[in-house]
Amino acid sequence: MGFFSAIKKMFGGAEDAANAAHEAPAEISADAGAAGVAATESLAEPAAKPAAEATAQPFAASAADEALTLRLREAEPRLSVWLGIVLEGVDEAGDLLWQRLFFLLRALDAPEAEAQNFVRDFQEWLARMDYRQVEEFRSELQYRLALALDMEDEEDERNRLFLKISQGLSRTREQFSKGLDALFAGHGELDDAFWEELEELFIMADLGYEPSIELVERLKERARKEKVTESTKVRQLLMAEVEEIFRAPRRIAAVNQPEVVLMIGVNGVGKTTTIAKLAHRDRMQGKKVMIAAADTFRAAAIEQLQVWAGRVGALFHARTAGSDPAAVAYEAMDRALQEGVDVLYVDTAGRLQTKVNLMEELSKIRQVLGKKHAGAPHRSILVIDATTGQNALSQTKLFKEAAGIDELIITKLDGTAKGGVAIAVAMQHHLPITYVGLGEKMEDLRPFSGEDYARALLGVKEDA
């Protein structure tokens, strides 16, 4: 959806007015635009905008719509603000809500078919969740709009994400940040005792012994380089160091479609729900998704995945429980190619019998995928559960050796006091963390930002 062109269209700008002119009732030249100022004077906008104004007409059908259009034009160009305006006077799901959603999507230049799909999907979701009140679904609605309109990187959504991470890490922060404060209060100078206590603090925050020692060494080095001698400055050093730890080199993203994503990790970490959340994101971005149940160990696991696939609108491929996981992966790969799928997710079993077994099973799956579709799997994602603390570290080591990992997703960062494990894993394994799970809802899987994480963990305010 051409959100930005739509925003510019609504908010004016001569160049955009020209771009949008095909939708205007008549071509308005720059001169005619100047002449038309009187007509739009009440909007108190610069002279170059009448043409843009004209393009806003087609969807300003009724007086109510026109009033809304004007409100949107005057408002800050942010999704949350716009959503707030179109949801005014709407308390629950129903005709008025659908009408307003269509209005917003049209105002944002969404093609009619996409707008229809969006609203229909959302209606289905509301029915399934049995939500009626706006307050029950507002957040999911904004999330869906942000994905559909490609606005997740906008400040608005980034703030929401930061709040989420910040809330999720509050228990970890409590331990960590309070410990730091006490440490700063007790030591003015950066002496050996200070560093030793800092190391203990890291260990207590579940960073693990070796990573804690390494982190202190890095901080000492940073303090030396930056000639920092006071303990109070260490918070900023730590902040910079944590950000640095998460700075993973960008991988080449070139993918020959379908993109194939292999999800690995032990039982219970959240693989299946994370696939659903990722698939949901893809679907909101208009992609065709297939999910393959190569975790064939339990029938219940296959059913659970099938239910998720149905909910998020993904194709699903499975065999009966006990089937060969590689055969499922092979067939799904075949189907994905035939049916023009954009992304194929392959769920795998997380049984940790022996490393050899695990290695064999995963490498067989990888082989058959690659045989059918060169380059597949394009991404092997290890899912780890933050609440398991140190186990997450040993699991990463094991899977890295057994199967190879391209990226990490850390789930259950919400409410755990062990959120520090993200630092340890990134530091020890040099793997990018691409998403984090911040709750059980679909909207609770978000792209990971090392900067947000560092800020949330250390309680550093935006302008501090």
Written as six digits, the tokens of 201 are 């603090």
Q: For 38-47, which contacts have Cβ atoms below 8 Å and span 24 or more sequence positions?
A: 43/70, 43/73, 45/12, 46/12
Q: Which one of 142, 272, 411, 449 is in contact with Mg ion (CB under 5 A)?
A: 272
Q: Is 395 in the site for ligand GDP (CB under 6 A)?
A: no
Pairing of strands 315-317, 343-348: unpaired
User: In whole angstroms, what is the distance from residue 333 CA to residue 327 CA?
Assistant: 10
Tell me whether residue 146 or residue 293 sits nearer to Mg ion (CB atom).
293
Q: Measured from the CB of residue 269, what is the shortest distance to ligand GDP in angstroms?
A: 4
Q: Is 350 in the site for ligand GDP (CB under 6 A)?
A: yes
The piece of 9-17, 141-149, 261-269, 326-334 that touches ligand GDP (CB under 6 A) is 261-269
380 in contact with Mg ion (CB under 5 A): no
Smallest separation (angstroms) from Mg ion to the CB of 307: 12
Return the closest-CA partner of residue 328 out of 316, 337, 318: 318
Q: Which stretch binds ligand GDP (CB under 6 A): 37-45, 93-101, 253-261, 437-445?
A: 437-445
Q: Round to whole Å and give the CA distance between 31 and 35.
A: 6
**Shorter beta-carbon distance to Mg ion: residue 40 or 348:** 348
β-bridge mates for residue 346, sequence order: 262, 292
- The answer to whether 267 contacts ligand GDP (rule: CB under 6 A) is yes
Q: Is 388 in the site for ligand GDP (CB under 6 A)?
A: no
User: Is 416 near Mg ion (CB under 5 A)?
Assistant: no
Q: Which stretch binds ligand GDP (CB under 6 A): 46-54, 74-82, 185-193, 260-268?
A: 260-268
| Contact mark string toward Mg ion, 66..105, x via CB under 5 A | ----------------------------------------
Is 271 one of the binding residues for ligand GDP (CB under 6 A)?
yes
Structure token pair of residue 280: 């949901």
Count the site residues for ligand GDP by CB under 6 A. 17
Q: Which among 311, 314, 313 is positioned nearest to 293, based on CA atoms?
A: 314
Which of the listed partners (ligand GDP, Mg ion, none) does 153 bind, with a CB threshold of 5 to 8 Å by partner kind? none
| Least distance to ligand GDP, CB of residue 93, Å | 25
DSSP string, 61-108: -SHHHHHHHHHHHHS-S-HHHHHHHHTTT--BSSHHHHHHHHHHHHHT
Q: In sequence order, what are the residues at sequence separation of 6 or more whose Cβ sits closer than 8 angstroms to the Cβ of residue 380?
A: 261, 262, 264, 366, 403, 404, 405, 406, 407
Among 272, 296, 395, 428, the residue binding ligand GDP under the rule CB under 6 A is: 272
Output 351-355 pairs: Cβ under 8 A, ≥24 positions apart.
351/267, 351/297, 352/266, 352/267, 352/398, 355/398, 355/401, 355/402
Per CB under 5 A, which region of 16-24, 248-256, 299-307, 359-367 contacts Mg ion? 299-307
Residue closer to ligand GDP by CB (options 377, 439) is: 439
Pick from 144, 235, 412, 418 the residue near ligand GDP by CB under 6 A.
412
Long-range contacts of 357-363 (CB under 8 A, 24+ apart): 358/398, 358/399, 358/402, 358/403, 359/402, 359/403, 361/325, 361/326, 362/262, 362/264, 362/402, 362/403, 363/403
Stretch that binds ligand GDP, among 82-90, 189-197, 363-371, 439-447 (CB under 6 A): 439-447
Query: Interface with Mg ion by CB under 5 A: which residues?
Result: 271-272, 301
Query: Interface with ligand GDP by CB under 6 A: which residues?
Result: 265, 267-273, 350, 411-412, 414, 437-440, 444
